[in-house]
Amino acid sequence: MKNFANQKKSSHKTTGPFRVLVLGGSQGAHSINMAMVEALQFLSQQKLDLHITHQTGETDLEMVNMQYKKNHFPADVRPFIDDIEDQYRKASLVICRAGATTLAEVTACGKMSILVPFPHATHNHQVKNARILEAANAGEIVLDEELSGLRIAKSIIQAMEEPKRLKIMEENSYKLGNRDATEKVRLLCMELLEETYSKSGRTKKLQGNYVLSCF
């Protein structure tokens, strides 16, 4: 996961286009890609107020890009997004799977999300992850078998037309975020190393983030 430790609390933008960030993991998600393409016909009235950044994966890149152009939608279509921190920062709404890393990023940035859990995840863990955000009123769940262009379009339009609701969900998302996870892991590792050295009877010296062995 990228470094989101310095992410500040999200504030709902009142100027500029409503930015939708569509993610399907590093390989893209075909069902999400197809639903977004289908959704364009239902978003024609919102077209001038929308900007979509869409990570498609390699397989669907050409098809998705062609559909945005065909429907004259302002969109940034890529197989993979390298500047993900910047894209999260600018996003008004995120449409994504519900893997642990993705949700950690979404909540660290305090973004409302439309969650489409991967239906074949082990022990259905993505649905369980998504339920946590749903229960906290930080995101919506759309199961893969219920996914359609109309369903996605309705959620986007509702987010655009109800800024107070959007702001509440952003705040709830931010409360779930863990922005100092890296530091917590570092401290736990240091504690474990100290305990290990103590039990071994060897002396040790802490220096910055390193443990120096003294034999």
What the block records as the tokens of 31 is 């069902």
Q: Provide, for the chain, the percentages of residues in helix, strand and coil under a 3-state DSSP scheme, each rounded to the nearest 5.
A: 50, 15, 35
Which range of 20-34, 123-137, 174-188, 199-213 scores highest in mean pLDDT? It is: 123-137
Per-residue pLDDT, 213? 46
CATH 3.40.50.2000 fits 18-176, yes or no: yes
Q: Is 71 left (phi over 0), alpha (psi -120 to 50) or beta?
A: alpha
Mean of the pLDDT values across residues 62-85?
A: 96
Three state DSSP letters for 49-104: HEEEEEECCCCCHHHHHHHHHHCCCCEEEECCCCCHHHHHHHCCEEEECCCHHHHH
Give pLDDT tens digits for 129-159.
999 999 999 999 999 999 999 999 999 999 9
CA–CA distance, 161 with 11 (Å, rounded to integer): 16
All structural domains of the chain with their residue ranges = 18-176, 181-214
Selected residue with higher pLDDT from 17 and 9: 17
Least confident of 4-13, 65-74, 105-114: 4-13
C-alpha span between 20 and 50 (Å, rounded) = 7
Average pLDDT over residues 20-48: 94
Q: How many CB atoms lie within 10 A of CB 178?
A: 12
Residue 207 β-bridge partners: 210
Which amino acid, one-letter code, is at 212?
L
pLDDT of residue 181: 66
Q: Give percent above pLDDT 70 in the chain.
A: 84
Tens-place pLDDT, residues 111-122: 999 999 999 999
List phi, psi (to 5°) of 21. -105, 120
Residue count of the chain, please give it: 215
Per-residue pLDDT tens over the stretch 150-204: 999 999 999 999 999 999 999 999 999 987 766 767 777 878 877 776 777 665 5
